[in-house]
Structure 1
Amino acid sequence: MSDATITAARRSPLSAEASSLGGVTLTPGAPLLRLILRGAEAAEAADTAFGADLPRRPNRSATAGERAALWLGPDEWLLLAPESDAASLPASLASALAQAPHALVNVSHRQTAILVSGSGVEPLLNAFVPLELTEAAFPVGMATRTIFEKAEIVLWRTGSAAFHIEVWRSFAPYVWELLEAVRRENAAN
């Protein structure tokens, strides 16, 4: 019997390329390692193994180099890292968390990212996101699970005029097309 390992190549569900229109740029996110960590007791043990302190305050993020941890709930974090970390990071985290009750799930193939930036980013997103997105209400580093029209997303403000949207792959074209439609409408006015 063969011990062949099958590895699925991950391709973007978005056929579009980065584009700017009306002062807003849409960019498909690069492939990332995405892990969901559950377990309040596990957070401290995960800090060192992940290389960044997981945020303990609601709706916050923490970054270290190319890694980011987004607080999604009292005992839940979305961990983002370069795809090149996929061979070592899950094992390092599993080892560090061995003594703490937790769940660590790789969701890299489930999700993708859309990066949105530019001077009109807040009104563009507010066409579909029912949150106050001014920088005063939703500052840089804030992250939350919310809805985008009919799709569940994780919205993370990465800069004064920049957002990172994590969305299930099956909803990514839908979210992209809605953003495009509003960009075209705003550019025409």
Structure 2
Amino acid sequence: MMTDQTHDFPVTSEAGARLRIEELAPEARFSLRVRPTNAPVLGQALGLDLPGRIGQIAEAQGRKALCLGPDEWLICAPEAARDAIVEAARDAYVAASHSLTEISDREISYAISGPAAQELLSIACPRDLDRLAPGEAVRTVFDSAQVVLWRDGPEAFRLDVWRSFAPHVRALLDIGRAEIDAGL
């Protein structure tokens, strides 16, 4: 005869309720380098305004443009838009010389959300995350890995990590989650 045992405690841990880490689906990504005077031409071709301030994000038609430097943007879009972006940039080249490099396979993205998300990221990110406003993103480091950190909301972040560093970063995130769960 078998017995069934039931428990009154929750299946998810406190950190599980306070913290969520998930790998995001792949997307088309491009590194765009263009002189700021030519940025409006490329923005029009790509269907969004390229922001002029470092850390600023523009969104349109499911595409995002993040200003990483005075002449550098990260363009993210659904994978289905990849060919259209390449074609639009190619067509705009005569009017505005630029460099558009596809980097889609270079990075993996993690969504980190919940009331403990900022606490988790602070274990290996030297930036003052209180100064990163929702709707902004920055290039920074997580431990020794270069990352792009997006703040999607008060308790929601996205971490873009080079594929070669992803196992290291994910292991640190999991260790941090365990420490937060244990109250360390």
Scaled to the shorter chain, the TM-score interval is: 0.7 to 0.9
Structure with greater helix percent: 2
The match for 1:165 among 139, 159, 162 is: 159
What number of residue pairs does the alignment pair up? 168
The runs of 5 or more residues in structure 1 that have no matched partner are 1-19
The match for 1:26 among 16, 21, 39 is: 21
C-alpha separation between the residues in 2 aligned to 1:171 and 1:100? 34
Q: Is contact 2:42–2:96 with CA below 8 Å preserved after alignment?
A: no
Shifted more, 21-30 versus 124-133: the winner is: 21-30
Shifted more, 96-105 versus 114-123: the winner is: 96-105
C-alpha separation between the residues in 2 aligned to 1:50 and 1:21? 39
Q: Percent identity among equivalent residues? A: 39
C-alpha separation between the residues in 1 aligned to 2:94 and 2:115? 45
C-alpha separation between the residues in 1 aligned to 2:124 and 2:139? 14
Partner of 1:138: 132
* Stretches (4+) displaced over 4 A: none
The match for 1:116 among 102, 107, 112 is: 112
Partner of 2:176: 182
Q: Per-residue deviation at 1:95?
A: 0.9
Partner of 2:41: 45
Partner of 1:151: 145
Larger radius of gyration: 2
The runs of 5 or more residues in structure 2 that have no matched partner are 1-14
What's the C-alpha RMSD, in Å, of the aligned pairs? Answer: 1.3
SS of residue paired to 1:21: helix
C-alpha separation between the residues in 1 aligned to 2:171 and 2:62? 28
Q: Per-residue deviation at 1:94?
A: 1.9
Q: Is contact 2:49–2:58 with CA below 8 Å preserved after alignment?
A: yes
Amino acid at match of 1:117: S
Query: Structure 2-normalised TM-score?
Result: 0.86
Query: Structure 1-normalised TM-score?
Result: 0.84
Partner of 2:8: none
